[in-house]
């Protein structure tokens, strides 16, 4: 990673953390922030479980066990955000009932961050059945490491003098500590497969990709002048609906 990338990393992380923390603190934007976190966290579970099965089939039981724990943690993270939404008398929109015009029929949803982060990879190459192990481990390591810090920042903007916020703050801090654990095992998994120099090089590559992806996301955010589509509706769910698959921390 060159010096400019390093500086942009700090600026990009700071800007994204500022936006998320602001959206978490503001009662008007908090539901949407919680909903997007719920979708991202629970959406990663099927991806991780498929990878776990693949690791087991390939005989890497150490990794399979770590991935089992990882998937369970992400499921729990999704539940923490779903619970926080219910306390605001909100729930994630049931996408099955969304009019087609909202989702643009037939067009896959584009995410400027993920498009840039995984630039050069086809969607088939990013499927859990096919993704290159090193690419998975290193790309997820960077996301988990940064997520652990972002969640601490998010928790810190929540007030403690009111029980619902205080409870959410505790939940988010426990999420942050799980993400730190995820980053640690992912790095260890890289170290089991690569030499120290190779680990540094591959992490450096994904750090640079993350910086570029953050810039893509921030410029998209500015173009839309901060308007993101609503992900929540009023009411408490009778059953938890399945979240769409997405790679998340
Ligand atoms: Fe998580
Ligand atoms: Fe995680």
pTM given for the model: 0.84
70 CA distance to ligand 2 centroid (A)?
7
CB count in 10 Å sphere of residue 127: 12
Model confidence at 244, in pLDDT bands (50, 70, 90)? very low
Q: Rounded to whole angstroms, how far apart are CA atoms 217 and 18?
A: 14
Contact criterion met (CB below 8 Å) for 128 and 54: yes
40 CA distance to ligand 1 centroid (A)?
8
What is the reported pLDDT for 219?
83
| 195 SS3 class | coil
Q: Which ligand is nearest to the CA of 181?
A: 2
User: Residue 233 pLDDT > 50, yes or no?
Assistant: yes
pLDDT tens by residue, 113-142: 899 999 999 999 999 999 999 999 999 999
7 CA distance to ligand 2 centroid (A)?
25
234 CA distance to ligand 1 centroid (A)?
25
Contact criterion met (CB below 8 Å) for 203 and 190: yes
Which of 80-84, 197-201, 236-240 is predicted least confidently?
A: 236-240
49 CA distance to ligand 1 centroid (A)?
14
The neighbourhood of ligand 2, an ion, using CB within 5 A, equals 144, 179, 182, 249
Contact criterion met (CB below 8 Å) for 218 and 15: yes
Q: Rounded to whole angstroms, how far apart are CA atoms 214 and 114?
A: 9
The CA-CA-CA angle for residues 174, 44, 69, to 5°, reads 55
pLDDT tens by residue, 5-45: 777 777 767 777 778 888 888 889 999 999 999 999 999 99
pLDDT tens by residue, 189-230: 999 999 999 999 999 999 999 999 988 887 887 787 656 667
Question: Dmax over Cα atoms in the chain, in whole Å?
Answer: 52
4 CA distance to ligand 2 centroid (A)?
28
| 84 SS3 class | helix
Contact criterion met (CB below 8 Å) for 67 and 55: yes
74 CA distance to ligand 2 centroid (A)?
6
Closest CA to 198 of 187, 209, 208: 187
User: Residue 236 pLDDT > 80, yes or no?
Assistant: no
Q: Rounded to whole angstroms, how far apart are CA atoms 224 and 47?
A: 30
Alpha helices in the chain (DSSP H): 3-25, 30-57, 61-87, 100-103, 112-117, 133-156, 163-193, 196-223
pLDDT tens by residue, 153-191: 999 999 899 898 999 999 999 999 999 999 999 999 999
46 CA distance to ligand 1 centroid (A)?
13
User: Residue 242 pLDDT > 60, yes or no?
Assistant: no
73 CA distance to ligand 1 centroid (A)?
7
What is the reported pLDDT for 229?
67
Q: Rounded to whole angstroms, how far apart are CA atoms 29 and 215?
A: 22
User: Residue 150 pLDDT > 70, yes or no?
Assistant: yes
Q: Rounded to whole angstroms, how far apart are CA atoms 112 and 206?
A: 16
Contact criterion met (CB below 8 Å) for 249 and 144: yes
What is the reported pLDDT for 197?
98
| 232 SS3 class | strand
Q: Rounded to whole angstroms, how far apart are CA atoms 123 and 130?
A: 10
């Amino acid at each position: 990673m060159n010096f400019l990338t390093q500086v942009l990393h700090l600026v990009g992380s700071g800007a994204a953390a500022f936006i998320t923390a602001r959206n978490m603190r503001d009662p008007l934007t908090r539901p949407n922030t919680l909903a997007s976190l719920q979708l991202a966290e629970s959406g990663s579970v099927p991806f991780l479980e498929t990878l776990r099965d693949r690791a087991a089939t390939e005989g890497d039981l150490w990794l399979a066990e770590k991935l089992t724990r990882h998937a369970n943690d992400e499921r729990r993270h999704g539940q923490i955000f779903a619970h926080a939404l219910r306390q605001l008398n909100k729930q994630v929109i049931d996408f099955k009932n969304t009019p087609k015009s909202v989702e643009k029929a037939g067009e896959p949803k584009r995410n400027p961050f993920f498009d840039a982060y995984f630039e050069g990879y086809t969607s088939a190459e990013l499927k859990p059945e096919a993704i290159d192990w090193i690419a998975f481990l290193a790309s997820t390591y960077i996301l988990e490491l940064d997520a652990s810090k972002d969640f601490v920042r998010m928790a810190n903007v929540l007030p403690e003098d009111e029980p619902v916020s205080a409870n959410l703050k505790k939940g988010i801090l426990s999420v942050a500590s799980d993400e730190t654990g995820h980053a640690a095992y992912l790095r260890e998994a890289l170290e089991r497969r690569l030499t120290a120099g190779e680990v540094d090089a591959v992490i450096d590559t994904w750090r640079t990709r993350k910086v570029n992806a953050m810039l893509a996301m921030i410029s998209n955010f500015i173009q839309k002048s901060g308007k993101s589509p609503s992900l929540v509706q009023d009411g408490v769910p009778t059953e938890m609906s399945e979240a769409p698959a997405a790679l998340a921390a």
